Amino acid sequence: MHNVKTRHNWTYEEVKEIFELPLLELIYQAQTVHRKNFDPRKVQVSSLISIKTGGCPEDCSYCPQAARYQTDIEKNALLDLETVKSMAQKAKDGGASRVCLGAAWREVKDNGDFDNVLEMVKEVTSMNLEVCCTLGMLNEDQANKLKDAGLYAYNHNIDSSEDVYKKIISTRTYDDRLNTIKNVRKAKISVCSGGILGLGEDTTDRIEMLRTLANMSPHPESVPINTLVAVKGTPLEENNEVPIWDWVKAIATARIIMPSSVIRLSAGRIGRNQAEQALCFMAGANSIFSGEKLLTTPNPKENEDINLFQTLGLIPTEPFKGAQIGH
Ligand code: SAM
Ligand code: DTB
Ligand code: SF4
């Protein structure tokens, strides 16, 4: 049995040994670690708001928002403050403790749009909501400005192993990604970083991705584990749906090697039944994205999630009561 001591020096072999445990043993160990660190009934609920949709110059093969792929999404320029506030209020009324403002940008630029985002961060934070942003690459100065505006968390995923990353994105490097995460960390903003299953990776890549996250010091406070939402028009449109067992395995391994992080059952919940999602919670997931849309793709409807929480006896976490920064 793996104890709950937080470590940042995992070897590939150690993570592999956990990842390849017999599945029910893995779930049991993950649930045991989970209960030592968290209230097992509490699940943190985040809601995504796409503040700037589509037209992105990057070539991430999975992403419907990349300008170079012909996908059926509704593009828009940066939303105005009032629209964002009313969407945030709706998310709060629906039980969300965090809203994540997402922009289809390669990087933040020091311009009027960024000033408007800083204003959104201030206003939404004052509604007693945790605000997370995902805006692409950031330098140290921009991270500090977001922190000063009250930003609670910043999402920047490593997506997969470095090897797979090179195959799915050519317009930036894994090191660019890690560097932004460092800038966020330096600004004392809570880090949200995870990945996507179903990009064509093998088990080795999944283990490497989880090991890279677990060897960050401190661990990301929040770790979204997405499964690919295959979107027509993107290079990965024909990829197969990730089997639920693969999702459970990745979540359980993440739970054991990052015992105090919030593990988010992220994109890809739509079409998964209650029993499948319950297995993910048993394996240590303790966060979801709520709302009928992720950024551009569908997510379970509000009443389905209310029903899920009722059936499983889950309770949404209050704002600012999740994982503390720096473990
Ligand atoms: N442009 C910024 C960036 O790339 O960091 C922020 C927005 S981007 C859409 C945020 C994350 O969404 C990506 O890093 C990726 O992990 C995830 N994502 C995008 N498209 C996805 C898809 N089709 N299925 C699952 N996850 C996806
Ligand atoms: C994360 O890991 N997943 C979210 C959030 N962080 C920004 C995004 C999922 C996007 C899924 C595809 C879409 O809806 O466009
Ligand atoms: Fe752009 Fe982010 Fe989509 Fe990549 S994942 S194409 S950077 S919006």
What is the C-alpha separation between 274 and 31, in angstroms, rounded?
A: 18
Q: How far is CA 201 from the centre of its chain?
A: 18
Question: Residue 327 has what pLDDT?
Answer: 58
pTM over 0.75: yes
Question: Residue 319 has what pLDDT?
Answer: 75
CA distances from 15 to 32, 66, 262 (A): 17, 33, 19
| C-alpha dihedral sign at 270, 246, 283, 161 | negative
Question: Residue 320 has what pLDDT?
Answer: 77
Q: Which residues fall within 8 angstroms of residue 314, CB to CB, at 6 or more apart?
A: 41, 42, 43, 281, 308
Q: In angstroms, what is the span from residue 28 Cα to ligand 1's centroid?
A: 31
Q: Roughly how many angstroms between the first and final C-alpha of the chain, as a whole number?
A: 21
Q: In angstroms, what is the span from residue 157 Cα to ligand 2's centroid?
A: 10
Q: Which of 239, 266, 270, 288 most suits a substitution to test ligand 2, by most atoms within 8 Å of the C-beta?
A: 266
What is the C-alpha separation between 171 and 55, in angstroms, rounded?
A: 15
Find out whether 136 and 142 touch, Cβ atoms under 8 Å. Answer: no
CA distances from 50 to 106, 184, 228, 312 (A): 15, 20, 18, 29
Successive 10-residue mean pLDDT values, the chain, 327 residues: 80 98 98 97 97 98 98 96 97 94 98 98 97 98 98 98 98 98 98 98 98 98 98 98 98 98 98 98 98 96 96 90 61
Determine the topology of domain 12-311 in CATH. Answer: TIM Barrel (3.20.20)
